[in-house]
Amino acid sequence: MLTSNSEQIEAIVNSMEKDVQDIKQEALKMTWYMRGGLSFTEAMHLGSQERKLINNIIKDNLDTTKKTKLPFF
């Protein structure tokens, strides 16, 4: 990075900012779906593997809800 020009550094920073926004959105979705079972702060402290596992559980539960036609909300 020390030998990068300003455009390369700007691209890296923009990519990192997008990653941060994606993580925040993922954490907020988890907290909403878990309805108080996980706070935003707790979600932000999860590792990427833990977030992925929780999101898979949420997806499975949504799929089950759709298949059984039970109310979700």
Per residue in 13-63, pLDDT (tens digit) is: 999 999 999 999 999 999 999 988 999 999 999 999 999 999 999 999 999
* Per-domain boundaries in the chain: 7-68
Helix or strand run (H / E) with residue 28: helix 6-34
pLDDT bracket for residue 70 (50, 70, 90)? confident
pLDDT of 73 above 70:
no
Burial class for 43, CB neighbours closer than 10 Å (0-12, 13-18, 19+):
buried
What radius of gyration, in Å, describes the C-alpha atoms of the chain?
17
pLDDT of residue 68: 93
Res. 71 pLDDT band, cuts 50 70 90: confident
Residue-level pLDDT at 2: 75
Q: What is the DSSP letter of 70?
A: -
